[in-house]
Amino acid sequence: MSLQHEVNCLINAIQESSQYKNYKKTRLDLLQDEELTKKVNEFRKQRLLLESRTVANNYPANELKAVQELYSSLRSNYLASSFLDAERELTEMILNIYKEIGEALDFYLDFLNQ
């Protein structure tokens, strides 16, 4: 079997997983509320920007507080909260797959810890 075939099998397995199915369902539910979708996407954007700055230890405390406040307000909404949980679970699954592949291949990343 070719590597591409195996990749396609992995993609299919991910698509059949409960994490992915839950993510798709909650995303479709969320899309029914345009205003809430905008708020969730704004939070996701701000969180991503903040996380990229966190790596460099370069973020203002007021930005962190604003993202935390937005997160808190979204968590009180069932649709938003369900979507964010599903997104986190899917992301964790994909990160674990990436980690396992990297470990199995002895992919040299020690330089990141120096």
Inside any domain, residue 103: no
C-beta of residue 26 within 8 angstroms of C-beta of residue 86: yes
Show the low-confidence residues of the chain (pLDDT under 50): none
Q: Which of 14, 78, 87, 82 is nearest to 44 (CA)?
A: 87
Q: What pTM did the predictor assign? A: 0.81
Q: Which of 75, 77, 25 is nearest to 47 (CA)?
A: 75
Six token digits for residue 104: 């199995």
> Which structural domain, as residue segments, surrounds residue 78?
3-98
Inside any domain, residue 113: no
Q: Which long-range contacts (CB under 8 A, 24 or more apart) does 38-47 make?
A: 39/70, 39/73, 39/74, 39/80, 40/74, 40/80, 40/83, 40/84, 42/70, 43/67, 43/70, 43/71, 43/74, 43/84, 44/87, 46/70, 47/71
Supply the pLDDT for residue 75. Answer: 95
Inside any domain, residue 39: yes
Six token digits for residue 30: 């969320």
Inside any domain, residue 40: yes
Inside any domain, residue 112: no
Supply the pLDDT for residue 56. Answer: 60
Six token digits for residue 35: 């205003």
CATH code where residue 67 lies: 1.20.1500.10
Inside any domain, residue 83: yes
Q: How many domains does the chain have?
A: 1
Supply the pLDDT for residue 105. Answer: 87
Inside any domain, residue 111: no
Six token digits for residue 8: 């396609």
Inside any domain, residue 22: yes
